[in-house]
Amino acid sequence: GDQVEQSPSALSLHEGTGSALRCNFTTTMRAVQWFRKNSRGSLINLFYLASGTKENGRLKSAFDSKERYSTLHIRDAQLEDSGTYFCAAEGGDYNQGKLIFGQGTKLSIKP
């Protein structure tokens, strides 16, 4: 079935630096969402993309349906950015709104 491979599984950054998370898809996806898990385990929306790029503050996301990937870039990382980030892709099948989740990236920001 449709798969989403998210990498890296864990990432450690120093404050002020940046990096990227990536999700690869085994098939063409219609859209992607990026989330951050909150302290209770629920999901905070970061981005929804059907194509192209979006930016919000120090976060920027890109989605390329044809090349089957999406990225989440974090710049000037702050301590409060620590947490677990997930991508979820929406497949192009009949199941409206089926999000297929990646395994998550645990991000740790160090002083």
Partner 1 sequence: AQTIHQWPVAEIKAVGSPLSLGCTIKGKSSPNLYWYWQATGGTLQQLFYSITVGQVESVVQLNLSASRPKDDQFILSTEKLLLSHSGFYLCAWSLGDTQYFGPGTRLLVL
Q: What is the DSSP letter of 80?
A: G
In whole angstroms, the minimum distance from the beta carbon of 105 to partner 1 comes to: 13
Residue in the block written with tokens 């969402």:
33
Kindly tell me which residue out of 27, 43, 54, 64 binds partner 1, with binding defined by CB under 8 A. 43
In whole angstroms, the minimum distance from the beta carbon of 8 to partner 1 comes to: 16
Contacts of 105 (CB under 8 A, 6+ apart): 6, 7, 8, 9, 10, 11, 21, 84, 85, 86
Where on the chain is the footprint of partner 1 (CB under 8 A)?
31, 33, 35, 40-43, 45, 48, 50, 86, 88, 95-104
